[in-house]
Amino acid sequence: MNVNLKHVWIVLKKELKDAFRDRKSLFVGIIMPMLFIPVIFIIASVAAKSAYEVKPEKTPICVVGKEYSKTVVNMIEKSEFQIVASSDPKKELLDGKIKAILIIPKDFEKLILQEKQTSIQILTNDADMKSSNVGSMLSEMINNFSREVVKQRLVQKNLDPSIIEPIVIKKENVAPPKKQSATFLAFLIPMFLTLWAALGGMNAAIDITAGEKERGTLEPLLTTAATRTSLVTGKYLAVSVMALLAGLSSLIGIVVSFAALPSVLGENFKNSPFAGYSVSPVTVLIMLLVVVLTAIIFAAIEVAIAAYARSFKEGQTYLSPVSIIVVIPPYLTMYKMPNELTDTYFVLPLVNAISILKELIYDIVNLQHLGLFVISSLVYIVISIKFAARMFENEKVLFRN
């Protein structure tokens, strides 16, 4: 059947008007991403900072046998760890009240003076990230002390301390701040953009198909002069517009996040996982292209699935797996660096969008991968639109009891 553009426009205007009347859906789909994403970025920054940051002056540890080595106790106190007394150290460690237990043996100082080997035991709760970090810090501290003891022994014997350490390791991180931030963002940004682009039109898709069946307004609409192709095109475009607005809203939310984080976090922004990261205009434009193509694909799929439902509630049930499917691809590429993404990743549905976004976050614009993404997405758009049109032309689907 031919498409009548006038009829398509009438249907599109009518469906958009109805969609914008639904204030709840409007807030969740369009307003919420702009507000939700900046809040999530702020919370993630604060949480990441507090999870890894150990403030020695505020970190309680227990030293068992502290009377056996004033040297070790003084060293810990100078590092400003808070040494606390405990009647049941292991229980308090598991409860998170203290972050580590240092056990000094009774003959510690005696063995040191006799130039013999001794030991210090460090207990941590590796289920607690801070406890694990404190354990690493204490281990490094004791190792440094051990090296100093060895050097003193060698000097007393008129030997050069460097003979026991012929190689000094100098470790340097060459990754620029932007790429370090990208590691964290390469999971969040693709998930947010694809999630809202894919799900932004869901309520509209259900309302204009299953909702109209439930209200009894679909049958009269099918008896009008407009062909079914014109009707489904108008409805599909309306859902696409809502999905695009949701995707665009999430993109705005991300841009606003980067603009607002420095002023909101102040000095703490330097320790944020987003510090040193910026989004270029080219990156934003390509991200917009990804959002557009993703929204168009899912709009057609949602219209087709919702058309099979007999009521709004049933439509929600049928489309609920879509929201689960959408969050899976970000995990498929989570531990992959951009250079590890093969061409296959850029042709698989939705995975291709995630992969392109991941490259963009690392400031990589690979024209071959971009071409694969665009071509494969256009193929999926054609398939999904044909699927939606076929569902709308099927009498058994539209008038299913």
Residues 394, 365 share a domain: yes
Average pLDDT over residues 385-390: 84
Residue 55 pLDDT > 60, yes or no?
no
Are 11 and 234 in contact by the 8 Å Cβ rule? The answer is: yes
Count of C-beta atoms within a 10 Å radius of residue 392 = 21
Q: Are residues 65 and 32 in the same domain?
A: no
At 286-295, the pLDDT tens digits run 999 999 999 9
Q: What is the pLDDT of residue 271?
A: 63
Q: Exposure of 154 by Cβ count < 10 A (0-12 exposed, 13-18 middle, 19+ buried)? A: middle
Token duo for residue 230: 């014109």
Q: What is the pLDDT of residue 61?
A: 93
170 within some domain: no
Average per-residue pLDDT in the chain?
84
Q: Specify whether 150 is located in the same domain as 187.
A: no
Indicate whether 329 and 291 sit together in one domain: yes
Q: Is residue 171 part of a domain?
A: no
pLDDT at 377: 94
Q: Does residue 173 sit within a domain?
A: no
Co-location of 234 and 258 in the same domain: yes
Has residue 212 got a pLDDT over 90? Answer: no
Q: Final residue of a domain: which of 163, 192, 214?
A: 163
Judgement on whether residues 372 and 290 belong to the same structural domain of the protein: yes
The pLDDT-based confidence of 399 (bands split at 50, 70, 90) is: low
Q: What is the pLDDT of residues 88-117, one digit of tens each?
A: 999 999 998 999 999 999 999 889 888 899
Distance CA 395, CA 325 (A): 29
What's the confidence (pLDDT) of residue 23? 83
* Rounded percentage of the chain residues whose pLDDT exceeds 90: 27
Long-range contacts of 65-72 (CB under 8 A, 24+ apart): 65/103, 65/104, 65/105, 65/106, 65/108, 66/104, 68/104, 68/105, 68/106, 68/107, 68/108, 68/109, 69/104, 69/108, 69/109, 71/109, 71/145, 72/102, 72/104, 72/108, 72/120, 72/142, 72/145
Per-residue confidence at 164, pLDDT binned at 50, 70, 90?
confident
Domain housing 229: 5-44+178-399
Judge if 263 and 345 occupy the same domain: yes
For residue 91, being part of any structural domain is answered with yes
Region 296-309: mean pLDDT is 88
Beta-carbon contacts of residue 86 (< 8 Å; ≥ 6 apart): 62, 92, 97, 98
Confidence of residue 268 (pLDDT cuts 50, 70, 90): low
The answer to whether residue 53 is domain-embedded is no
Asked if the structure places residue 394 within a domain, the reply is: yes
Q: Are residues 37 and 95 in the same domain?
A: no
Considering 140, 163, 186, which residue would you say is the last residue of a domain?
163
Reported confidence tier of residue 163, pLDDT bands at 50, 70, 90: confident
pLDDT score recorded for residue 226 = 75
d(CA 336, CA 54): 29
DSSP 361: H
Q: What is the mean pLDDT of residues 302-310?
A: 86
Q: Which string of b and e fits 317-335 if b means at least 16 CB within 10 Å?
A: ebbeebeeebeebbeebee
Cα–Cα dist 291/189, whole Å: 12
Same domain membership, residue 236 and residue 315: yes
Render pLDDT for 350-377 as a digit per residue (tens, 0 to 9): 999 999 999 998 888 899 999 999 999 9
Average confidence (pLDDT) over 218-240: 81
pLDDT given at position 167: 81
**301 falls within a domain:** yes
SS3 287: helix
Q: Which amino acid is at 11?
A: V
Stretch 332-339: mean pLDDT: 86
Residue given tokens 């090296």 in the structure block: 147
Are the beta carbons of 211 and 25 closer than 8 angstroms? Answer: no
CATH number for the domain including 137? 3.40.190
Among 63-72, 142-151, 276-285, 342-351, name the one with the lowest average pLDDT: 276-285
Q: Which of 18, 29, 395, 8 has its CA nearest to residue 212?
A: 18
- Does residue 144 sit in the same domain as residue 87? yes
The verdict on 278 and 339 lying in the same domain is yes
Residue 235 and residue 156 share a domain? no
Q: Do the domain assignments include residue 267?
A: yes
pLDDT band at 276 (very low <50, low <70, confident <90, very high): low
pLDDT at 8: 84
What is the mean pLDDT of the segment spanning 321-339? 87
User: Over pLDDT 70: what percentage of the chain?
Assistant: 91
The count of domains in the chain is 2
Task: Mark out the alpha helices in 200-280 (DSSP H runs).
Answer: 202-206, 212-215, 218-222, 228-265
